[in-house]
Chain A
Amino acid sequence: MDESQNPVYKDKAHGQFRELSYSYKDGGNFDQTVGFHDQVDRLVLQQAWDLFHERIEAAKQRVLAGEVSPIVYYMEKNLLDPLNLSMMAGFSVWRVKWHFRPGVFKRLKEPTLQKYAAAFNITLDQLKKVD
């Protein structure tokens, strides 16, 4: 396989690093080689990134349609799930999910929003809308 090309990765920055891997050839020889990702690595990693991007886009559409609060969009953008977000922001999972409702989100006080903004590393104004 051509090592310098990225046949599967859509992001040009992906797959630019050489890594060490082990292999075995019949006859009892274990080998170490340093090389770029092979086809299997590329396929399964790209699959994960495809899913992330799909989820981010879907979340954005739902926020714009007014179904959920912008927290959902920023959660997906940071590749988080409610459990991890609850650990980062310091709320229970139940409360995080409660804040997903647009009506509840509008009534949230500033200190609460500040915690979310800190977890996502953005400003308060950014948190209130999707970019």
Chain B
Amino acid sequence: MVKLEFEHRQAGHCESGVTRNLLNYHHLMISEPMAFGIGAGLFFSYLPFLKMQHAPTTSFRVWPGQVFDRATKELGVTTAIHKFRNPKDSMDKLNEVLEQGYPVGLQVGTFHLPFFPPEYRMHYNMHNMIVYGHDNGNYFISDTVMEHLVEINYEDLIRVRYAKGAFAPMGRMYYPTHVPSDIDIKPSIIRGIRKTANNMIGIPFPLVGVKGIRYLAGRMRKWEKNLGPEKASYYLGQVLRMEEEVGTAGAGFRFIYGAFLEEASMVLDQPWLKELSIEMGENANKWREFSYLGSRNCKKRGKPEQSYDFLADILLEVAGREEKIFKKLSTIKS
């Protein structure tokens, strides 16, 4: 029986919340937006060839696992990451690490997760949660989506850790082993901002970053003609689900990133970042307006209330704003 003194705090996004909670446990007090910003989590990609729940995938974040990896690496925190072929090995290792006194982050699939809100129980294998103790085959879980602490039994935990399908977690577990006491977060903030700016405007590929938003806008204009109203509305709904649901804390992480820029301006003592955080907040509200207007097209058997051209124009405006913001951010100096 192990039960660590773990403080559970809810978060907007599962991975950055897990990163924050794990680092806070080791007395490195950073906020969720800070973990997200240093981990360079903001992104955009539209992948029409990869179908998820019968519609093209839109993603507002980097590859799963990168936020934790990058943030800990940038901060100079030593971590251990394990994957296992055999479920029994993975559970033994989990018990062993818990007994050494480290809370452990796990990558799990959400379909069989018993305590998860039922409206989210789809096949999504990139969810993150923390185990902070076990007792007689019962595991104590801190899941940042949930308001309170929860528990899960041995069989269910194996099942979600070995969920199959795309991005199968394969029992992936990760935890910080050593956190230095004197960490200077300023250089890591600057590197995180540079990385995000490069991801958004520096990759010469049409489906990612600001170019990806423009590409999506172009495609959106043709949806109704090419796919018919019903499928077009479902495709639009998929973009909105990825933007507002699946733990983005609203507007596809743009609110979190604005909060990060605000905090960064104070830590780095660079007032121009504060102005950019205001621009990012306005930009996020524009995304929010897009999802509000777009969701009216997603009503059951309703006629589209907004034309797809109009929604695409909002996307183009958002893309213009983000390009401006990240061009300025890419010039950041220490």
A positions within 8 Å CB-CB of B: 9, 11, 13-24, 26, 28, 30, 32, 34, 39-41, 43-51, 55, 78-81, 83-84, 87-88, 119
Asked whether B54 is an interface residue with its Cβ less than 8 Å from the other chain, the reply is yes
CB neighbours of B33 from chain A (8 A): 30
Within 8 A of A (CB), among B200-248: 233-234, 237-238, 240-241, 244-245
Is the Cβ of B241 less than 8 Å from the Cβ of A19?
Answer: no
Select B299's contact among A41, A43, A81, A88, beta carbons within 8 Å: A43
Chain B interface category by residue count = 35 or more
CB neighbours of B122 from chain A (8 A): 48, 79
Is the Cβ of B281 less than 8 Å from the Cβ of A28?
Answer: yes
CB neighbours of B259 from chain A (8 A): 22, 30
Select A20's contact among B12, B54, B237, beta carbons within 8 Å: B12
Within 8 A of A (CB), among B118-152: 118-119, 122-123, 145-147
Q: Which residue of B lies closest to A49 (CB)?
A: B119
Assuming the contacts A30-B262, A51-B54, A87-B168, asked whether A44 and B241 have C-beta atoms less than 8 A apart, the reply is yes
Asked whether B95 is an interface residue with its Cβ less than 8 Å from the other chain, the reply is no
The A interface is mostly helix, strand or loop, or mixed, namely: mixed
Asked whether B295 is an interface residue with its Cβ less than 8 Å from the other chain, the reply is yes
Q: Which residue of A lies closest to B117 (CB)?
A: A17
User: Which of B65-73, B74-82, B284-292 faces chain A?
Assistant: B284-292
Select B164's contact among A47, A50, A88, beta carbons within 8 Å: A88
Query: Nearest Cβ distance between residue A54 and chain B, in whole angstroms?
Result: 10
Is the Cβ of A84 less than 8 Å from the Cβ of B300?
Answer: no
Is the Cβ of A45 less than 8 Å from the Cβ of B258?
Answer: no
Select A22's contact among B117, B250, B274, B292, beta carbons within 8 Å: B250
CB neighbours of A55 from chain B (8 A): 54
Given contacts A17-B145, A17-B147, A43-B296, could you give 17 more A-B pairs where the C-beta distance is less than 8 Å?
Answer: A11-B118, A19-B145, A20-B11, A21-B255, A30-B33, A39-B292, A39-B295, A41-B244, A44-B240, A44-B244, A45-B119, A47-B233, A48-B122, A51-B54, A79-B123, A81-B51, A87-B164
CB neighbours of A40 from chain B (8 A): 240, 244, 291-292, 295
Q: How far is the CA of A16 from the CA of B237 in the complex (A)?
A: 21
Assuming the contacts A13-B118, A18-B147, A47-B298, asked whether A41 and B245 have C-beta atoms less than 8 A apart, the reply is yes
Q: Which residue of B lies closest to A37 (CB)?
A: B119
Asked whether B57 is an interface residue with its Cβ less than 8 Å from the other chain, the reply is no
Is the Cβ of A43 less than 8 Å from the Cβ of B298?
Answer: yes
Q: Which residue of B lies closest to A119 (CB)?
A: B164
Within 8 A of A (CB), among B266-282: 274, 277-278, 281-282
CB neighbours of B285 from chain A (8 A): 24
Instruction: Name 22 interchain pairs, CB-CB below 8 A, sorted by A.
Output: A15-B117, A15-B119, A19-B10, A21-B250, A23-B250, A24-B281, A28-B274, A28-B281, A30-B33, A30-B259, A34-B147, A40-B295, A41-B244, A43-B298, A44-B240, A44-B291, A45-B245, A47-B298, A50-B300, A81-B54, A84-B165, A87-B165
Is the Cβ of A22 less than 8 Å from the Cβ of B255?
Answer: yes
CB neighbours of A79 from chain B (8 A): 53, 111, 122-123
Q: How far is the CA of A87 from the CA of B162 in the complex (A)?
A: 12
CB neighbours of A13 from chain B (8 A): 118
Query: Nearest Cβ distance between residue A120 and chain B, in whole angstroms?
Result: 12
Query: Nearest Cβ distance between residue A34 and chain B, in whole angstroms?
Result: 7
Q: Which residue of A lies closest to B260 (CB)?
A: A30
Q: Which residue of B lies closest to A19 (CB)?
A: B145
CB neighbours of A119 from chain B (8 A): 164
CB neighbours of B329 from chain A (8 A): none
Is the Cβ of A48 less than 8 Å from the Cβ of B255?
Answer: no
Assuming the contacts A22-B256, A88-B165, asked whether A45 and B249 have C-beta atoms less than 8 A apart, the reply is no
Is the Cβ of A9 less than 8 Å from the Cβ of B119?
Answer: yes
Is the Cβ of A51 less than 8 Å from the Cβ of B299?
Answer: no
Q: How far is the CA of A9 from the CA of B118 in the complex (A)?
A: 11
Query: Nearest Cβ distance between residue B33 and chain A, in whole angstroms?
Result: 8
